[in-house]
Amino acid sequence: MAAVTQPVPVREEVPWTVRLRLILSYTLLFLLALVFLYPFLLTITTSFKPLPEIARNPVQLIPETITLEGYTRMRNLNVGRWAFNSALVATVITLGNILFASMAGYALARIPFPGRQPLFLTILGTMMVPGIVLLIPLFIILRQLSLIDTYWGLTLPKLVGAFGVFLMKQFFESVPKELEEAARIDGANRLQMFFRVILPIARPALIALIIFTFQGAWNDFMFPLIVISVRQELYTLPLGLAVLRGGLGENLQWNAILAGSLITTLPMAIVFIFFQRYFIEGISYSGIKG
């Protein structure tokens, strides 16, 4: 019996115009990436330059002399405490949003109660108010409660946000109700259904919420500015670096300032590089029909 030969697939030739279009597209994207990356690379290299070299040629990317004097100056300041404050405040705010935003989002998505829809619309309405408008009322309230210059003042007003509630509600509405019905048949109450059934499968939305919240709290400048007025040991990194720059006057130590900026930016840049798909998922969850 003769062996059956398989036909050899014919490879289609890609037209040269398509290849040229791809080459031009990738070249343009590469150049745009360089344009956006150049300021960040310049920040990194300038933080390792001595002050005379920065004054002589501030836009030179490759340093002639590499020095750690900028980082030494930052170490001699209170940068370690500022970094600790930023990490502590961002962590507490993130944990609060995980708990309260997920519980509020679940209640709005699954528990029927009078006024649920108007309440959700009110929460959405607060997202349309510019944050700067709320700074003075927040300051007055915190002063009346004696929370100025305290860790409580930095964290309590931020423990839950409208965006987190909106994000979690949109996700919970996409979860099949059959899971809760099966858990109810097994004898689970509402809290058990939430913590043992619903919350574990909400991991993608929770990760997106963690990243958005932590990034916002870490980079926040305006809110710590109105809360911390006297106690400099409570400064966060963005606030401390801004005050440091203002206190130097015209004698700006650019290598030290850029070293502090790099310390502030690098953790969030690493988080974004490794978890950027969760940023995209978070945006997609906020678009789920509700």
State residue 290's pLDDT score. Answer: 42
State residue 258's pLDDT score. Answer: 82
State residue 250's pLDDT score. Answer: 55
For residue 106, what are its two tokens? 């679940």
Structural domains present in the chain: 20-67 (no CATH), 78-246+267-285 (1.10.3720.10)
Q: Do 44 and 262 meet the contact criterion of CB atoms below 8 Å apart?
A: yes
pLDDT band at 175 (very low <50, low <70, confident <90, very high): confident
Q: Which residue has 């960040």 as its token pair?
A: 40
pLDDT band at 284 (very low <50, low <70, confident <90, very high): low
Selected residue with higher pLDDT from 236 and 188: 236
State residue 95's pLDDT score. Answer: 93
State residue 273's pLDDT score. Answer: 74
Q: Do 256 and 73 meet the contact criterion of CB atoms below 8 Å apart?
A: yes
pLDDT band at 281 (very low <50, low <70, confident <90, very high): low
State residue 288's pLDDT score. Answer: 47
Selected residue with higher pLDDT from 131 and 282: 131
Phi-psi region of 249 (alpha: psi -120 to 50; beta: other; left: phi over 0): left
Q: What confidence tens digit (pLDDT) does each residue in 58-115 have? A: 778 888 888 888 788 777 777 888 889 999 999 999 999 999 999 999 888 888 888 8
202/285 Cα distance (integer angstroms): 11
Query: What is the arithmetic mean of pLDDT over 170-175?
Result: 85
State residue 4's pLDDT score. Answer: 55
Instruction: Name 247's Cβ contacts closer than 8 Å, sequence gap at least 6.
Output: none
Over the chain, what is the mean pLDDT?
82
Instruction: Name 154's Cβ contacts closer than 8 Å, sequence gap at least 6.
Output: 85, 89, 223, 224, 227, 228, 234, 236
3-state secondary structure (DSSP) of residue 207: helix
Query: What is the arithmetic mean of pLDDT over 142-156?
Result: 91
